Amino acid sequence: MRGKLQFLIIIFMSSYLYGQTVAFETLLKDNISIRALQIYGGKVWYAGTDSKFGYVSLRDTADRKQIRVADEKLEFRTLAQSSKHFELINILSPAYLFKIHKKTLKVSLFMTDRKKSAFFDAFMYDRHHRGLAISDPDENGRANPIILLPVGNYQSGVAKIDFPTYFPGEAHFAASNSNIAMKGSRVWIASGGSRARIFTFQWNKPTKWQAFETPFIQGTSSQGIYSIDFYDEKFGIAVGGDYTKQTENINNIATTHDGGKTWQIQASGKNGGYKTCVKFRPGSKGREILAVGDRNIEFSNDSGKTWTTVSEEKGLYICEWIDRNTVVLAGKNRIVKMRLI
C-alpha cells in the first residue's frame, strides 16, 4: 500500500554492533542507475541515468517527485548541494552543469564544458558553500577541475591551477560521487588506473595542489581508489579494488593518519572485496565505518583494521548516513534505507 513501510530483509548483525537488527526498507524502485545522493529537508535527492533527478521522502515513500533535467538522455553520476541549489554535471562531453533551485525545482544551465576529454566523476560542496567538481584529465595529463567559491569560480584555463600532472592511464572513477572528501579547510581527491594517488589542497589556496602516492592496488584501468572519507583533517580511509575482479581483496583498503601524506594498507586479503563507497558512522570517533560494493555491505568497528559482511545485498553503489542508526543506499534501479533497530 502507498505510504506503508515495506521491509524486504531483516538480518541479525554480529555482537560488534551491540546485537542490533538490521532492516531494509525500499524507498524507490525505477528503471535507473543511481550513483549520487544528497539528503535535504527529510528527503533523499538523487540523480541518475536518462537525465532523471528527483526525491523521495524518508517518512512517506508516496511523497516523491521525478523530473527530466534535459531532453537528451544524459547520465549523471554527480550531485552536490549548495545553499540554494542542487547542482549536477553529466558524464561525457559536452558536460553540462545544471542548477536546480531547492524550493521551486526550476532547472537552469550554469556552464558547459565542451572539451573532448570532459568526464566529471564527482561534485561536492562543503558547509561553507565551497564547491569542487573533478573531471578526468585531458590527453596530456592536464587536470580539468571546476572550483566554485562564494565570490566566484576558478576553472582550468581561467585561473592557473598548479595541479600535478596525471600519469598516462591515471584518472578517476565515477562510481559513487565519493572520490572527493572535504573536512575543515582541506580537500582530497582519489585517483585510480595506472596510479592510485591522493591529490589535496586547502581552500585558502585553491590553485595550489599536492599529490601523494599510495600502496593501493593500481596498474590497470579498472584498479585503484573508488571512494574516500575523512573523519577529521588527519584521519581518513580509502576503499576500492578492481571492478572486473570484484572478489579480489588485496590492497584495496587503506587508512591515513597524517592528512593523506602516507597510507597504510588494512585487512588485505581479509575483506569482502571491491567497494565503491565508504563512510564513517556519525558519532563513532572514527572507529566505525560502513563500506558498500556491488556484492555486499561491510562494517568495521576498529577504524578499518578488520571487516565483517553485514549484508549480501547486490547492486548497491553508494551510501549516506542519515543519523547514527540510519543509512540510505542506492544503485541499480532502487533506493533503500537500512536501519539499526
Per-residue model confidence as pLDDT tens digits over 189-229: 999 999 999 999 999 999 899 999 999 999 999 999 999 99
Identity at 313, one-letter amino acid code? E
pTM of the model as a whole:
0.93
pLDDT digits (tens, 9 = 90+) for 270-299: 999 999 999 999 999 999 999 999 999 999
Beta bridge partners of 156: 159
Cell of 262: 602516507
- Segment 163-180 shows an average pLDDT of 97
Using 50, 70 and 90 to split pLDDT, how confident is the model at 16?
Answer: very low
Q: Which residues contact 133 (CB under 8 A, 6 or more apart)?
A: 78, 80, 89, 97, 120, 122, 123, 145, 146, 148
Using 50, 70 and 90 to split pLDDT, how confident is the model at 340?
Answer: confident
